[in-house]
């Protein structure tokens, strides 16, 4: 006959093994939670970066309006040889203003942006110059490059 006491008796070390599995499960849960929290933090950081750029763009727009350099259909040309942005009434139109951006923190970013024929800012890559109004709308829509152009034009 089978001795039931021997069959159901716990072996030495079995409890330690169960604790080891519980600790491993707890570590896995902690790892997953930390990864989730850190990815949420990165999203919040990028949203605050865009918000900061948007506020700088607002200041840039206000500065241009105060100088009477803002027109919804005005376009921007990148003059990378002189580290300047030029504002024209339209593509091929009259020069309104030249803004020195050599001290701007966005100089390198602006010089590497998409430009249409004639070095007009063309962020949507349709080979047509983006107007100041388009740049502003794109910036408020979350386009960081558009915000950088407006911030640099405003001197920020």
CA distance 118 to 137: 23
Instruction: Name the β-bridge partners of 115.
Output: 121
- What is the average pLDDT value for the chain, to the nearest integer? 81
* pTM of the predicted structure, to 2 decimals: 0.66
Read off the pLDDT of residues 42-83 as tens digits, 9 standing for 90 and up.
Answer: 655 567 788 888 999 999 999 999 999 988 889 988 887 888
In this structure, are residues 147 and 139 in contact, taking their beta carbons and an 8 Å threshold? yes
Q: Is the pLDDT of residue 90 over 70?
A: yes
pLDDT at 1: 55
Confidence of residue 6 (pLDDT cuts 50, 70, 90): low
Read off the pLDDT of residues 113-146 as tens digits, 9 standing for 90 and up.
Answer: 767 666 777 776 666 778 899 899 989 998 888 8
- Those residues whose C-beta lies under 8 Å from the C-beta of residue 100, and which sit 6 or more positions away, are 82, 83, 84
Tokens representing residue 109 in the block: 């970013």
pLDDT at 151: 92
Share of the chain above pLDDT 70, in %: 78
Confidence of residue 155 (pLDDT cuts 50, 70, 90): confident
Taking CA atoms, 27 is separated from 17, 19, 32, 34, 125, in Å, by 15, 12, 9, 10, 48
């Amino acid at each position: 006959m089978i001795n039931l006491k021997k069959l159901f008796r716990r072996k030495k070390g079995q409890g330690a093994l169960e604790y080891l599995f519980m600790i491993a499960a707890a570590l896995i849960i902690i790892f997953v939670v930390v990864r989730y929290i850190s990815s949420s933090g990165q999203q919040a950081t990028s949203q605050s970066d865009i918000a900061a750029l948007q506020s700088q763009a607002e200041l840039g727009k206000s500065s241009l309006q105060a100088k009477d350099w803002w027109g919804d259909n005005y376009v921007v040309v990148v003059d990378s040889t002189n580290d300047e942005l030029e504002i024209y009434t339209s593509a091929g139109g009259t020069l309104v203003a030249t803004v020195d951006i050599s001290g701007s923190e966005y100089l390198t970013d602006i010089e590497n942006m998409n430009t249409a024929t004639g070095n007009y800012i063309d962020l949507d890559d349709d080979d047509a110059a983006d107007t100041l109004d388009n740049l502003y709308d794109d910036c408020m829509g979350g386009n960081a490059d558009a915000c950088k152009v407006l911030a640099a034009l405003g001197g920020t």
